[in-house]
Structure 1
Amino acid sequence: MDAAAEFGRLSGVFYSGGSFLPSAGERRTVLDPATAKPIGEFADVTAEEADQVVTTANAAQKAWWAESALHRSELMHEVAREMHRLAPELAELLTRETGKPYKESRDELTWSISATDYYAELGRHSHGSVLGPSVAGQLHYTLKEPMGVVVVILPANFPLLLLMWEAAAALAAGNAVIVKPSEWASLTTLKFMEVFTALPAGLVQCVPGGGQVGDRLVRHPQTHMVGFTGSVPTGQAIAKACAEQFKPHLIEASGNDAFVVMPSAPLRTAARAAAFAAFLNCGQVCTSAERIYVHTDVYDEFADLLVEEAAKLRIGSGLGAVDLGPMEHAEERDRYERILARAVEQGAKVVHGGGRPLDLPEENRDGFFVEPTVLVNVTPDMEVMQAEIFGPLAPLCRVESFDEALKLTNASLVGLGATVYTTDLQEVHRATTEIATGMVWINAPLLDNDAGPFGGRKLSGFGRQLGAEGLDTFRHTKLVMIDPAASEHDFWWFPYSDDEAFPQD
C-alpha cells in the first residue's frame, strides 16, 4: 500500500450509500503527529450532505431489520473477516494519522474483530422473552427492536475499536449507523468503511467534519440514538440536545482512574502494570492510571521501580520499534504540558521525564512527542489529581492506609474504572464492593472483555458498551399481551360490581 496515495484518495470525501463521494464542504489539513507534516485533508461535510446521509440510512435500516437474524449475523462475520484482511493497511494508516505504535494499532484491529464476531452471534441469540402471564389463557412476551438510525461520535485515541464497540452492537440489534469520526482520525476511519462492503449500501456511513456536523446529526429528527465518547462538556451538550427530543443516548466521557498499590502487592509487577496503565497510547486512554495512590510503607521502593520501568520505554515514530509514539496533535501536547507545569508549580517533583525527547531522528524533531513522566511528592489537593490528564504522566501520592486510598479513589467527580494491586483478600473484597466506579481491576489493569459491560458512573457518563448490556443499549423493549380468545375481562371492566363499590352506610 502507498500510504500517501491512500490518504490522497481519502481526502475531501465522505462515505455514503456504499461509495466515497466528494464533499462540497471546506477542507482541513491533517498532520502526521510524528513529523508535523501534512498527509491529507478532511472535509467538513455540508448540511445538505449530512441530511442526505440520514435519509439513506433510514431506508437501509428498514431493509436490514427485515432480514433474518441469521443473515445479519453471517454478514457481520463477513465484516470481521474483511477487517482481518485489511488489518495491515488499516494499522499503518492509523499509526500515521494518530501516532500510536503500530503494535497498538494492530491490537486495535484485533479487538475490533473480536467485538464484531461476538455481537454477530449475540444479536441472534435472543429477541425478547416469554413471560408468565398475569391472566390465565393469555400470552405475554417482550420484543427487542432497533432504535433506528444510530449516530456514533468518536474520539481519536481508539477510533476503530470504539466505533466497533458501538457499531457492532447497533448493527446486531438491527440499526443503521452514521459515523462522525474525530477530526484527528478521519482519514483512517474513512478507509475503515471498506470493511463494511458485505453489508447493504447505506447501512454504515461516515461523515467527517467538526462539531457542527456532529451537532446536526444529533439534533436531526430522523436520527434515533446517539453514542458519544469524548469530553465531559461535549457529552453534557449532547445529552442536553438529545433530551429535547427524548432521544436515547450513550455517553462515555472522561476518566481519572485511581491505581492503588498496597504493601502486599508484588511491587515489581505492580510497577510494570502502572507503567503500562499510565503510558499506554502515550497516556491517551480514558481508563489510564492517572491518580496513583501508594501505601507509605512501599512508596519509595515503588517509585524507584516505576522510574526504572519508565526509563526502559522507547520513544519515536510509531512505525519503528518503539513503545511510545507522539501525542495526537499539538494542542493535546500543549494542554498536557500545562498540566505538568502546574503540578510542579504546586510542589510535585519530577523524578523521570518531564520534557520532550531530544534524541529523535531529524524527521521527527517537530513531532508532538513528550517523555513519559513520573511525579513524586504529589498531594491529593493538587490540580493534577482532580481532572483527566490524558497524557503520559504518573503522579504518585502517598497514603497511610487502605481506608485513605478508598476515600481518595471515591472522591473524584468521575468514576470510570480503578485498579488495585494487593494480595490481601479483605482488601480485594472491599475494593470490589466499596469503589464507586463502573469497573474495578484487581491486579489486572485496563483489561476489557467483549462479554462484560464497559462504562462509568458520575461524570464519566452513563450507559454501557459491550456485553449483553451493550446490545440492549441499542434496542427498544416492547411488551406484547395477547388474549387469543378475545374474552370478556369482567374481572376489571365496567360496570363495577356492587360488592366492589365504596362501602355505603
Structure 2
Amino acid sequence: MRETSAHHWINNDYVAGSGPRTPVINPATGETIAEFAHATAHEIDKAIEASTRAQREWWAMSALDRAAAMHRVADRMVEMSRTTGEVLTREMGKPFRESNWEGGASASSFRYYAEIARNEQGRVAGPAIAGQLHMVVKEPLGTIVSIVPFNFPILLFGWQAAAALAAGNAVIVKPSELTPMTLLTLMRAFDHLPAGLVQVVTGGAEVGQMLVAHEHTHGVAFTGSVPAAQAVARAASQRFKPALIEASGNDAFIVMPSAPMDAAVRGAAFAAFLNCGQVCTSAERFYVHESVYDEFVSGLAAMAKSLRVGNGLDKIDVGPMASVRERDRVEKIVNRAVEQGANVVTGGRRPAALSAGAFFEPTVLEVSHDMDIMHGECFGPLAPVCKVRDLDEAIARANDSQLGLGANIYTEDLAEAFRAVNEIET
C-alpha cells in the first residue's frame, strides 16, 4: 500500500475504497500527504462478513496458540515502530520520538493480554443445590468496533484491540480522519492472523455510526470527545451492545507550599505540553497555593519559553496541533480567556516563523476559576494557573468540573497527598 492511496484493510488485504475521498494534511507543513476513502455500507458489510468468519476460526484455536499469535503481533509492532512512527508524525505532528514510542508501548498491551487469555478461561463453582454443577465459562462477544482518536492512535488501538482479541473476539477499527494511514500501515503486523480478524475501515462519524448500529457487531470501544461519546452510547444502547467509553478530561494540577518547585515546574510542563497538550489526561487547570504562586508561574513560563516548537521530524520538543481546525479552536479559547480578564504570561499566539503549519506556542495564563477556560477541555498547549488560599479551596476547585479522568498534587506532606487522593472526585 502506498501512503497516498485510499484503501481499507479488509480480509487481510488493502482494498481500494469506493466512497468519497478526504485529504490527509501534514499539520507541520500544510501539505497533502495522502487521502482516505469513506467506507460505504457495502464495504462495511464485507468487513463484517469477514470478521464473523475469522472470529469463529480464532475462537476455535487453543488459548496457547492465540497467545503465541498475539506475541507475534507484538514482535511485528516493535519491528515496524520506526515506520509507523514516521507516518504518525507526518499525519498528526507529534515529535518522532513520541510516535516511535507508541509502537513499543502498544506492543506491551498485546503481550499483557496474551498472557491473561492463556491462563484465564473460567472456573467451576460449588453447587447451591445438591446434584447441580455450576461453571463460569468465558466466551467472546463476536465482532468489536474500535473507534480511536488522533492523539495516540497506535497506543489506544492497542489498549482496545489487544483485550478484545485475547478474549476471542474480532476487531474492526475506525481510525480518526486525521490519522488513518498510521493504522493502515500497522496492519501488516496482523497479516498472519485469520483473514478478517483485525480490519480497518476509514471514514468520518457516519462510518462509526454504521459500525456501531450494525446488527452483526457486538460491542464497542471508544475514545474521543463527550459529544461523540454520547452519540456512540446512544447508538450502542439501541441494540443493547456493551460499550466501553472514555471521553474528555479536564485534569486539575495542585501545587502546595512544600512541593519542590523545580519538580513541580517540570511536572507541570510535561503535563500541560506533552503532545502539544493533546492528551485526555493533560493537566488543564492549575491551582497553586498563594505563597508559591509567583515562583511557580515564573518558573513554568520560563520552561514554556525554552521548549523548541517545530516539525516533529526535527529535533524539537513540541510539534503542531493535529490540524488547523484544532489550532483555531485553541486560539479561540485563549482569546476568550483574555476577554474575561486572563493575563497571558507567555505564548498565546501562532509562531510567526511557522506560519505554514498548525502551530501554537506553549502558553501560560494567569486566570480566575470562573473563566470559561477552566470549565471545558482545552486539548491544547495551555496552562491556565489560578491562585488558591489553601488545600480546601484547591480541592473544591478541582471538583467543580463536569469532566474527570485524573488529577495531580505536588506536595511533600503525605496528609495533603492522601486528602487529595480521597477527596478529589475523578
Length-normalised TM-score, structure 2: 0.98
Q: Offset at 1:133?
A: 2.4
Task: Give the match for residue 373 of structure 1.
Answer: 363
Letter in structure 2 aligned against 1:167: A
Matched position secondary structure for 1:123: helix
Which structure is higher in helix share? 2
Q: 1:111 aligns with which of 74, 90, 105?
A: 105
Between the two proteins, the alignment pairs up a number of residues equal to 426
Show structure 2 runs of 5+ residues with no match.
Answer: none
Deviations 1:75-125 (A, max 9, x none): 000000001111111111110110000011011112111111111111112
Q: 1:46 aligns with which of 33, 40, 47?
A: 40
Deviations 1:292-346 (A, max 9, x none): 1101111111111111211110000000000000000111011110001000110
Matched position secondary structure for 1:183: coil
Task: Give the match for residue 179 of structure 2.
Answer: 185
In the alignment, is the contact (CA less than 8 A) between 2:80 and 2:103 conserved in 1?
Answer: no
Distance 2:397 2:270 in 1: 22
Distance 2:6 2:335 in 1: 38
Matched position secondary structure for 1:359: helix
Deviations 1:33-92 (A, max 9, x none): 110011110001111001110111111111111111110000000000001111111111
Q: Does 1:299 align with 2:288?
A: no
Letter in structure 1 aligned against 2:383: A
Q: Offset at 1:6?
A: 3.5
Matched position secondary structure for 2:369: coil
383-392 or 106-115: bigger deviation: 106-115
Q: 1:266 aligns with which of 256, 260, 266?
A: 260
Letter in structure 2 aligned against 1:319: L
In the alignment, is the contact (CA less than 8 A) between 2:73 and 2:190 conserved in 1?
Answer: yes
Distance 1:277 1:230 in 2: 19
Aligned-residue CA RMSD in angstroms?
1.1
Task: Give the match for residue 280 of structure 1.
Answer: 274
Matched position secondary structure for 1:380: coil
164-173 or 303-312: bigger deviation: 303-312
Task: Give the match for residue 78 of structure 2.
Answer: 84
Letter in structure 2 aligned against 1:409: A
Q: Offset at 1:208?
A: 0.3
Task: Give the match for residue 327 of structure 2.
Answer: 333
Matched position secondary structure for 1:130: strand
Q: Does 1:64 align with 2:64?
A: no
Matched position secondary structure for 2:248: coil
Distance 1:237 1:129 in 2: 37
Q: Offset at 1:137?
A: 4.7
Q: Does 1:388 align with 2:377?
A: yes
Task: Give the match for residue 395 of structure 2.
Answer: 406
In the alignment, is the contact (CA less than 8 A) between 2:81 and 2:101 conserved in 1?
Answer: no
Is the radius of gyration larger for structure 1 or structure 2?
1
In the alignment, is the contact (CA less than 8 A) between 2:81 and 2:102 conserved in 1?
Answer: no
Matched position secondary structure for 2:352: coil
Matched position secondary structure for 1:305: helix
Ranges of 4+ aligned residues in structure 1 off by more than 6 Å: none
Q: 2:338 aligns with which of 338, 341, 344?
A: 344
Matched position secondary structure for 1:81: helix
Deviations 1:182-207 (A, max 9, x none): 00000111111111112111000000
Task: Give the match for residue 7 of structure 1.
Answer: 3
Distance 1:100 1:182 in 2: 15
Task: Give the match for residue 146 of structure 2.
Answer: 152
Distance 1:147 1:348 in 2: 50
Q: Offset at 1:381?
A: 0.8
Distance 1:401 1:130 in 2: 53
Q: Offset at 1:139?
A: 2.6
In the alignment, is the contact (CA less than 8 A) between 2:190 and 2:198 conserved in 1?
Answer: yes
Distance 2:250 2:372 in 1: 12
Deviations 1:164-195 (A, max 9, x none): 00000000010000000100000111111111
Q: Offset at 1:135?
A: 2.3
Task: Give the match for residue 350 of structure 2.
Answer: 356
Matches within 5 A, 1:159-174: 159-174=153-168
Matches within 5 A, 1:242-253: 242-253=236-247
Matches within 5 A, 1:482-493: none
Length-normalised TM-score, structure 1: 0.83
Distance 1:323 1:36 in 2: 20
Task: Give the match for residue 15 of structure 2.
Answer: 21
Deviations 1:114-163 (A, max 9, x none): 11111111111212223232224533231111111000011100011000
Q: Does 1:426 align with 2:426?
A: no
Q: 1:208 aligns with which of 188, 202, 206?
A: 202
Matched position secondary structure for 2:322: coil
Distance 1:386 1:129 in 2: 46
Show structure 1 runs of 5+ residues with no match.
Answer: 438-505
Task: Give the match for residue 29 of structure 2.
Answer: 35
Letter in structure 2 aligned against 1:82: R
Distance 2:123 2:389 in 1: 51
Deviations 1:7-30 (A, max 9, x none): 12xx21101110001111111111
Deviations 1:400-456 (A, max 9, x none): 11111111111110111111111111111111211211xxxxxxxxxxxxxxxxxxx
In the alignment, is the contact (CA less than 8 A) between 2:28 and 2:359 conserved in 1?
Answer: yes
Task: Give the match for residue 321 of structure 1.
Answer: 315
Share of identical aligned residues, percent?
A: 55
Distance 1:231 1:189 in 2: 20
